[in-house]
Structure 1
Amino acid sequence: MNIIISNEESYHFPGWKIIHSMEEFSKVLQFSIEEAKINLEIDWAEAAELSAEIKRKNPACKVEFFESDKGEFSFLKSFLERIKYPAVIGRFVGEEPVIVYANQSFVDLFGNNGRFIVGDYLDKLIVPPEKHEEALDLNRRVKEGEVVFVEVKRATKTGERYFELTALPFSRKYAVAIYRDITKRREAMQKIVESERKYRGVFDTSFEPMVLLDGSFSIIEVNKAFEEEFGVSGEELKGKNIREILDIDPSLEESEIEALVGGRRKIMVYRIKKINSEILLSIKDITEFEATSRLLRAITYANDLIVRVDDREELFEQSVKLLADIGKESSCWIGMLSNGEITKVYCEGCCCAVEITTYPKCFEEVLRKKKALIVTAEDRDEDCPFYTKKPRLCCIIAPLIINGDVIGFNVLHSPIEFSEEMKEFFESVTNNIAIKAKAIEADKAKKIAFKQIEDNIIKLAILVDEIRNPLAALLAYAELMVDDENTLEKIKSQVWRIDKVLGLLDKGWIESEKVREFLRKSWGINNEAG
C-alpha cells in the first residue's frame, strides 16, 4: 500500500491512499506500507512521529517529506544538496531526532544496504551503543538552541569512523547535522604517538598547525603549517611560553580561544598527546565556522520574527537588530527606495546613521543584476558612504525585491570574510523580509477595502429607510387630502413604483451582506476588524 498523509483534500494519485486523520492512519497501519509521502505541515499530528511509527512496523518502507509551499524545509534541503559533506535535517520526537531529509553524501556513507533511511531515528541508525548517552546530551543541547561543534564516533556502512559534527537548531522545527570525516586525521595523530620517526613525518607534513611544548609549556618547535597560519617563524618562537602566543591552558584536552598573533580569530586547540614530558598541540582555525554559525543563527531568529510580526515598521526595525548581532563591529542597514531615491532607513550597529545621496557603484550592480553581492575589505571603494565609518569591514548587499522590482537594499557589514554560502543565507532572509512586507501591505489594503464595503452597506440600509418612511407618510397624506380618484391612483402608482425600487435595494443589501461574510472568511478578517 502507498499512502499520502496531508491536511489537504486535493491530492489524486491513482493507487495511493490519502490519510487526513489519526483514525485513518491507525487503520492503515494494520497493512503493509511500501511508500509514504508525509506533509510536514499537517495539523492533526507530528509528521516525524507518524514516520517513526510507519518505519517501526514497516522497516523497508520508503518515506518522503514535503511542504505544500516552499518554506524553511525547502530552503534547508536545497542548501544541503549542494555541500559535499554528509548532512541531514531532523525533527525531534521526544529526545531523539527523526531524519526528514538526508543528502546523497549521507546516504552513500551511512545507508544500510540500500535501505531507505528517511523516517528513521538518526541515533539508532548511526550512533554506536556505547555513545548513546553522549548522543542524548548533544540532542538536549541542540533542542535548547545551542550550536554544537564536537568530535564524535559514528557507525557507517563500512565500519565505525570519527567525525567533526556541526549540529545546530534551525527555527523551532528543525535541526541540522553536518559530518566531516576526520578518521584519517585521527589515525595520523595516533601514529605520532607510536614512534618518533612516524611522529616527525606527520608533524612536518601536516596541513594543520602543530606545536611541541616542553613540560613548562615552552615552545620546542612548530611545524611549517603553524608558521604559515600565524605569520611567525619557528626560530622566533623557540623558547617562548605558549601563553604568549595562544591564550590557553595547555593542560586541557581542548580549548576554544582567540589567537594573539597573526590577526585575532577564533581557533580550536587540541591537546593530542603527552609524549614523555613533552606536549603536542594541534590547532584548527574555526573563524569561518563561527561566523557562519552566528549568521545562520541570526537568520533563524529573523525568519522566526518574520512569521510573528504583522507591522511593517517593526519588521524592518527588528530585522536589522537581529542581523547586526552576528559579531563585534557588525552592522545591518536597510534603505527603502522610492522614485530612485533612498527615502527611509533602518539601521543597527557600527555603520548606522550613514546618509546616502547617490548610489555607490556596488548598489548599481545589485540594482542591475537583482542579485546579492559580496564586497571584500580589499575591494571596498573609498567613495562608498559606509567607508569612512569602518573601511576594513567586508559587506554583503542584497536587494529587497517585490514583483520583480527592487524596493530597497539590505547591507550587512562585518570584519569576517563572507562565503558564498553566507551570501545565499543572507539573500534568502532578505527575500523573506520583502515578501512579508508585501503581505503586510496587502493585508492592510484588504482591511481598508473591507471597512469601505461595510460602510457602504450601512449607508445603503440607512438610505432605504430614509426614503421609505417619508414615502409612507406621503401616501397617507394623499389618501386623506386628495378627493379626485384618478389623481389619487396616479399618486399611489408612483409610490408603489418607488417602493418596488426600494424592495430591489433591500434585496441588494441582503446580497451585499453575503458578499461581506464571504470576504470576511476568505480574507481572514475577524469581527473586530470592521
Structure 2
Amino acid sequence: MIEVAIAVGLVSAGLAIFTALCLHLEKKYEEKVKEVEEGNERYNTIVENIPVGVYIFQNDKHVFVNDALEKISGYTKDELLSLNPLDLLHPDYVDRSMQFMESALKGDTKVYSCIIKFTRKDGECRWVELRMVPTIYNGDKAILATVVDITKQMDLESQLKESEEMFRTLVEKSLAGIYLIQDGAIKYANPKLAEMYEYHVDELIGNNPLDYVHPEDRAKVEENIRARIKGEIPRTPYRVRAVRRNGKTRINEVFGSFVNYKGKPAIIGMLFDVTDSVRINSLLEIINNINGVVIQEKNIEMLIKKTCRILYSFNDYKKVSIGVWKDGRFDYVYSLPKEGDACFDVKMSSETTIENKNNFNRALIPMLAKGNVKGVLVVDSYEQFLIDEVRLLQTLANNLALAISSIELDEVKKRAYEQIKKNIEQYAILVDHIRNPLATIHAFAELYVNDKEISNKFVVQINRILNVIEKLDSGWVESERIKKFLERY
C-alpha cells in the first residue's frame, strides 16, 4: 500500500509539473505570437510608410501593395490588387520583365534590377528603378519587388547631359582655339586650335605648349603661364607669335584664366588668330601716310616715287610698281626694288586682277578717276591677298588717279595762265602799234587833205578803228582781272 501511495504521489507530482510546464509553454507561445504580431505590425508600418513602392506578385497578380506604390502608380490599392504588374510597365519593357519573372519563379534567377518606364493611371510615364527577387509568400512562390520613382533624377541627368552636350558642341565648333594646360602640357585642345596650328587634336595632347610658340616669344609665354598659375596677373590678353606645322608664323591673341582641374592648378583659355587684322591695320597706317603725300605732292613723278617707297616698306610685299598711263602708253613707270618694271608686262584694264605666281601673288589694280584709267598699281606679295587688303589698295590706286588728274589739271591751268599773261602783253603792244600810226594818219588828213569830204571819211574810219582799239583796251583790262584771279587760285 505504501508503494502504491508513493506511486500515486509521484504521478500526481508529475502531472502537476507537466501542467505547470504546459501552462508555461502556452504563455511563452502567446508571448511569441504577440511578439510576431507586433513584429508584423512594425514591418507593415515600415513597409506602408517608406517612400519606396513595394509589391508582391503571385499567380499573375498583385497580392500585396503598399501606400507608396499607390502614390507612384496613381491607382488605388484595390485597383492594383486586381492588376498584373506588367500592366504598369511601358510596352518597351514588358517582354524583358516578363522573362525575369518566369525565370525567377522557376528558381533560375535570384535578383533582377533595372531602370524602366512606369505608366501611371493618368497615362503619364515615370522613370523608376525596379528591383525584383524571388520569395515565398503564404507557402507559395512569389516575387517581391521594390519601385523607386527616379524621374527627377533622370530629368536632371538628361538636362545635365544636354548641357554637357551643348557645351561640348560650343567648344568643339567654336571659332576660337580653346585649350587646357596643366603641368606644362596640353591636356585639351579643340578642333579649331588644332586647325590653327595645322595639326590633328591628338598630335597636340600631352605636348608642351611652348613647342608651338616662336622662339623669341617663349620666355614671355612661360612667364605668363607661371604668373597665371600663381594668380599674380588678371585675365589680361596678350599677343604672341605662333609657329604652324609648315613653319609659317602667325600672330595669336591669348586669353587665359586659372582653374582647378582634377584637384590641380591649370590654365584654360582661348586663342584668336589676329594675323589678318594686324596686317590690315599695318597696311592702313601705311596708306594713311601715303595719303599725306598725295595731298601735298604736286609733281607726278615724285608722287609715284614716294608712294612706292612707303608702300614697299610693308613687310609682306615683295615688289611695288606704279605705271602712269597716257596717250595709249605708259608715260612713267617706277618700281621697288629696281630690277625691271612689272608694269611693262601689264595689259591695261579697268578691273582688278589677282594672279598666283610660283612663289608669290600679284595684284594688278587699275588707277581710276571718274571712269578713266590713269595707270596701274602692281603689288607682289609673299602672302595671299586679303579681301580688305585689296579694297584698301583699290582705294589707294583711285586716290593716286585723282591726284594725278589734279596735278595734270594744275599743269593745264599753269599753261593757260602763262598764255593769258603772254596775250595780255601782246594786247598792250598791239594797241600801241595801232594807236600811234592812227594818230599820224588823223593829223595828216586834217592838215593835208583839202577835200573836206575825203578828209571827213578818213576821220570816220579812223574813229571806227579807235573804237575797236577801245574794245581791245577793255579786253586787256578784263584779261588783267583773269590773270589776278588765276594768281590767287
Give the TM-score normalised by structure 1.
0.50
Q: Percent identity?
A: 24
Counterpart residue number, 1:157:
none
- For 2:315, the aligned partner's letter is G
CA contact (8 A) 1:267 1:284 kept: yes
1:416-435 → structure 2 map (5 Å cutoff): 416-435=383-402
- Alpha carbons of 1:234 and 1:475: their partners in 2 closer, same or farther (altered >3 Å)? closer
- 1:269 counterpart = 2:241: no
Shift of 1:285: 0.7
Pick from 288, 312, 317 the counterpart of residue 324 of structure 1.
Answer: 312
CA distance in 2, matches of 1:421, 1:228: 23
Letter of the 1:258 partner, please give it. Answer: R
**TM-score w.r.t. structure 2 length?**
0.54
The answer to whether structure 1 residue 344 and structure 2 residue 345 are counterparts is no
Deviation at 1:286, TM superposition (A): 0.9
Aligned to 2:411: 444
Gap regions ≥5 residues in structure 1 = 1-194, 381-390
Task: Classify 1:460/1:357 alpha carbon distance in 2 versus 1 (closer, same or farther; 3 Å).
Answer: closer
User: 2:334 touches 2:341 (CA, 8 Å); kept in 1?
Assistant: no
Q: Is the 8 A contact 2:196 2:244 kept in 1?
A: no
The amino acid of 1:268's aligned partner reads: E
Q: Deviations over 1:169-212 (max 9, x none)?
A: xxxxxxxxxxxxxxxxxxxxxxxxxx999987765554422333
Q: Secondary structure at the match of 1:273?
A: strand
Matched residue, 1:288:
276
- 2:471 partner amino acid: K
Q: Does 1:224 align with 2:191?
A: yes
Partner SS, residue 243 of structure 1: helix
Q: Please identify which structure carries the higher helix content.
A: 2
Give the secondary structure class of the aligned counterpart of 1:526.
helix
Output the CA distance in 2 between the equivalents of 1:205 and 1:409: 43
Q: Cα deviations across residues 429-479 of structure 1 (Å, max 9, x unaligned)?
A: 212221221122122212211221221122121222233334435655777
Q: Does 1:259 align with 2:226?
A: no
Cross-structure match for 1:526: 487
Q: Which residue of structure 2 lines up, in the alignment, with residue 299 of structure 1?
A: 287
- Secondary structure class of the residue paired with 1:259: strand
CA distance in 1, matches of 2:354, 2:239: 28
Alpha-carbon deviations, 1:385-414, whole Å to 9, x = none? xxxxxx433332111235644342111222
Select 2:450's aligned residue among 464, 485, 493.
485
Match of residue 371, structure 1, among 351, 360, 374? 351
Match of 1:27 in 2: none
Contact 1:325 1:331 in 2 (8 A): no
Amino acid in structure 1 at the alignment position of 2:487: N
RMSD value, Cα? 3.5
Change (3 A) 1:345 1:306: same
> Equivalences for 1:117-516 in 2 at 5 Å?
204-215=172-183, 217-234=184-201, 236-238=203-205, 240-246=207-213, 247-248=217-218, 249-250=220-221, 251-252=223-224, 253-262=236-245, 263-275=248-260, 276-338=264-326, 340-348=328-336, 350=337, 352-356=338-342, 359=345, 363-364=346-347, 367=349, 370-375=350-355, 379-380=356-357, 391-402=358-369, 404-473=371-440, 482=448, 485-486=450-451, 490=454, 494=458, 497-498=461-462, 500-516=464-480
Q: Deviations over 1:302-353 (max 9, x none)?
A: 33433333322232223333333443445421112345543421233x5x43
Residue matched to 1:517: 481
Q: Is the 8 A contact 2:319 2:335 kept in 1?
A: yes
Aligned match of 2:133:
none
Report SS of the residue matched to 1:511: helix
Indicate the SS of the match to 1:371.
coil
Q: Distance in 2 between matches of 1:476 and 1:469?
A: 11
The amino acid of 2:466's aligned partner reads: L
Structure 1 CA distance, aligned partners of 2:169 and 2:420? 83
Contact 2:342 2:378 in 1 (8 A): no
How far apart, CA to CA, are the structure 1 residues paired with 2:301 and 2:344?
24
Aligned residues: 306
Query: Which structure has the larger Rg?
Result: 2
3-state SS of paired residue (1:282): strand
Question: Partner residue of 1:117?
Answer: none
Cα distance in structure 1, aligned partners of 2:456 and 2:446: 9
> What is the rounded CA distance, in whole Å, between the counterparts of 1:466 and 1:515 in structure 2?
19
| Counterpart-to-counterpart distance in 2, 1:497 and 1:418 | 78
Q: Please state whether the residue corresponding to 1:399 is helix, strand or coil.
A: strand
Please list, as runs of the form range in 1=range in 2, the aligned pairs for 1:28-43 lying within 5 A after superposition. Answer: none
| Distance 1:507-1:372 versus aligned 2 partners, 3 A rule | same
Unaligned runs of 5+ residues in structure 2 are 1-162, 225-235
Name the SS for the 1:267 alignment partner. Answer: strand
Work out whether residues 374 and 423 of structure 1, in 8 Å CA contact, stay in contact via their aligned partners in 2.
Answer: no
2-structure distance, mates of 1:306, 1:319? 8
Q: Distance in 1 between matches of 2:455 and 2:476?
A: 31
- Alignment partner, residue 114 of structure 2: none
- Distance verdict in 2 for CA 1:500–1:203, change over 3 Å: closer
Distance across 2 between alignment mates of 1:468 and 1:406? 52
Say whether the 8 Å CA contact 1:254–1:269 is kept in structure 2: yes
CA distance 1:295–1:200, change in 2 (3 Å): same
* Corresponding residue for residue 79 of structure 2: none
